[in-house]
Amino acid sequence: LVILTATLTMDVTIRRAWEDSLREQTQMHLSREVRLFANRVDNDHARPLAEIVAQEARAADARATMIDSSGKVLADSEADPAHMENHAQRPEVAAALRGDAGNSTRTSKTLGIEFMYAAAPVRGGVVRLAYPLAGVRRTAAVVRRNLLIASVLSLLAAALLAAWIAHSFSKRLRRMAQFAQQVAAGDLSARISEGSSDELASVATALDASARQLEISFRTVEQSRQQLETLLNSMQEAVIAVSADGRVEWANGHMDDLVPRGARRGLPMIESIRDPEMLRCLRETLAGGGVQQSRAALVAAGKVFQVVSAPLPSGGAVAVLQDLTEIERVEKTRRDFIANVSHELRTPLTSIQGYAETLLDGSSDPDTVREFAEIIRKNAVRVSRLTDDLLVLARVESGEQRFQLQPVTCRELVADAFSAFHRIAENAGMHLHSDAPPPSAAGEDLVLADYEAIHQVFANLIQNAVKYSAPGAEINLGYSIPGPDFAEFYVRDSGPGIPSEHLPRIFERFYRVDKARSAGRESGGTGLGLAIAKHIVISHGGAIRVESKMNHGSSLFFTLPLVRPA
């Protein structure tokens, strides 16, 4: 387009100017030649006028004419003077007759060709030279043709060069576009290199540097995100984030475990959690209420949470759920424990106080004093036993009590318990039997246990059976091997049994099936024996349970892990 425009511009402007210049040069040349023609006519008297005209025409490569002062043509190099009209009115002739050099351009009436005329005065007339402008036009046409050919050749060369440059630029631009698409698709490791040093290479270098920096920044952000996600997933608290329109954006693993089917990301919060208090808390935070706190009891069955919601910089909100279930259970247990201890201590302390005050009133009857003193002693013993049991239970529950675990035969544990308590059972009018099975083919069964601690477990279970069984009842003590990994010990009595609704709670502190009867209290029990037994067994890695039917006695079982030889 540039070359074509330049060619047209040259053709329109430069060619015309060149033609005008060529005309001026031709005119000047013709004027110079006509002066030479006039000088020869004035000085050459040896040759005929017609010969001089013919020679000057050949020398100037123009038409030569001799005209007298009246305008009559005397001689002409290309026409018969006799048939030529008078030239006195020709502009160049008229100017020459006046003594000036004359010039004119017009179409010849004689030949019908456009000529450029130049005339000069001589003695007795005028000489004139006429140059046909067809030669000028031919020269201009040749120049124009050469210009066109040169333009076409230049256009072809430029087109080839432009095509090569365009192909090179297009190829490089396609590489840059492909690189940009890779980066846009998330492949930040894509790179582009340019060996040249032009503007495209500068752009490619800048893009490559941007991709490198973007990859570094994205890797840093991704590492920070992974660290934050790992940190949030390692939290014991459940965390959930919602967008400004209330849709779930993110939740940690603990939150997914709490909600049935997990937190449904991308969906409204109510699709995952239906607790009204938590939803209200988040709505108020999203509405610009800042940090909000609430208590949620419907997020997960049987659990209570403290919900704290805070706004996010992006316009959403994040909620943190702290599980208060265990804290509240422990707090309730603590309150119940304090209430139970206070209740258990109140009775013996009231008795001690009452009888002591009676003694202080001055009773002198020795039998009465002895009776009251005995009652005070029994209640003091009960308070002491209760205190001891509370200390033992506290040490076992807190893990302060360290057990010396070592292999012990099951038969030895049962035999020791039978030896220690069969006399106590007989004194209470009951019969204690040992049901230990015979040794197996592999030898004695060994369990990993603290001998003294398991002896205390047997003591608590047997004493409990003795307290609640009628005189003449039988109590069975023994063990079995129901599985390859543990041994199960049991104490069975033939007492009144335990109602089924009380079975899940008999291992709780101070829990008694028949509070009105209070057989344990009347017999000196503290209500902590089964709770102590439970925690000792659990600390050994075992479990304890009870089976009972009304009027068919009760069976208490506990397991201990077996020790198998390599």
pLDDT in tens, 271-309: 777 788 888 888 888 888 888 888 887 777 777 888 888
Q: Give the model's pLDDT for residue 488.
A: 92
Answer yes or no: is pLDDT of 195 > 70.
no
Answer yes or no: is pLDDT of 85 > 80.
yes
Cα–Cα distance, 520 to 527 (Å, whole number): 7
Q: Give the model's pLDDT for residue 518.
A: 45
Q: Give the model's pLDDT for residue 519.
A: 43
The closest of 303, 275, 308, 305 to 290, measured between CA atoms, is 308
Q: Give the model's pLDDT for residue 159.
A: 85
- In b/e form, how buried is each residue of 370-386, taking b as 16+ CB within 10 angstroms? eebeebbeebeebbeeb
- In b/e form, how buried is each residue of 514-527, taking b as 16+ CB within 10 angstroms? eeeeeebbeeebbb
Answer yes or no: is pLDDT of 516 > 50.
no
The per-residue pLDDT of the chain, averaged, comes to 81
Answer yes or no: is pLDDT of 535 > 90.
no
Instruction: Match 């004689």 to its residue by tokens.
Output: 110
Q: How far is CA 331 from the centre of its chain?
A: 42
Contact between 465 and 471 under an 8 Å Cβ cutoff? The reply is no
pLDDT in tens, 141-187: 787 788 788 878 888 888 888 888 888 888 878 887 887 887 787 77
Q: Give the model's pLDDT for residue 149.
A: 85
Cα–Cα distance, 188 to 308 (Å, whole number): 38
Average pLDDT rounded to a whole number, residues 485-513: 82
Answer yes or no: is pLDDT of 80 > 80.
yes
Average pLDDT rounded to a whole number, residues 61-82: 88
pLDDT in tens, 9-44: 777 777 777 777 888 888 888 889 988 988 888 888
Q: What is the 3-state secondary structure (H, E, C) of 270-339?
A: HHCCCCHHHHHHHHHHHHHHCCEEEEECCCCCCCCEEEEEEECCCCCEEEEEEECHHHHHHHHHHHHHHH
Highest mean pLDDT among 51-65, 315-329, 523-537: 51-65
Q: Give the model's pLDDT for residue 560.
A: 92
Q: Give the model's pLDDT for residue 517.
A: 43
Contact between 386 and 362 under an 8 Å Cβ cutoff? The reply is no
Q: What angle do CA 545, 549, 550 make, to 5 degrees?
A: 135
Q: Give the model's pLDDT for residue 179.
A: 78
Q: Give the model's pLDDT for residue 505.
A: 80
Q: Give the model's pLDDT for residue 119.
A: 92
Instruction: With cut-offs at 50, 70 and 90, classify the pLDDT of residue 337.
Output: low
pLDDT in tens, 453-491: 899 899 888 888 888 888 888 899 999 888 888 899 999
Cα–Cα distance, 295 to 304 (Å, whole number): 7
Cα–Cα distance, 7 to 1 (Å, whole number): 10
pLDDT in tens, 229-285: 777 677 777 888 888 888 888 888 777 777 777 777 888 877 777 788 888 888 888
Instruction: With cut-offs at 50, 70 and 90, classify the pLDDT of residue 336.
Output: low
Of the chain, the percentage scoring pLDDT greater than 70 comes to 89
Torsion angles phi and psi, residue 193, rounded to 5: -125, 145
Instruction: With cut-offs at 50, 70 and 90, classify the pLDDT of residue 121.
Output: very high
pLDDT in tens, 376-409: 888 787 777 777 767 777 777 666 677 888 899 8
Instruction: Match 């603290």 to its residue by tokens.
Output: 450
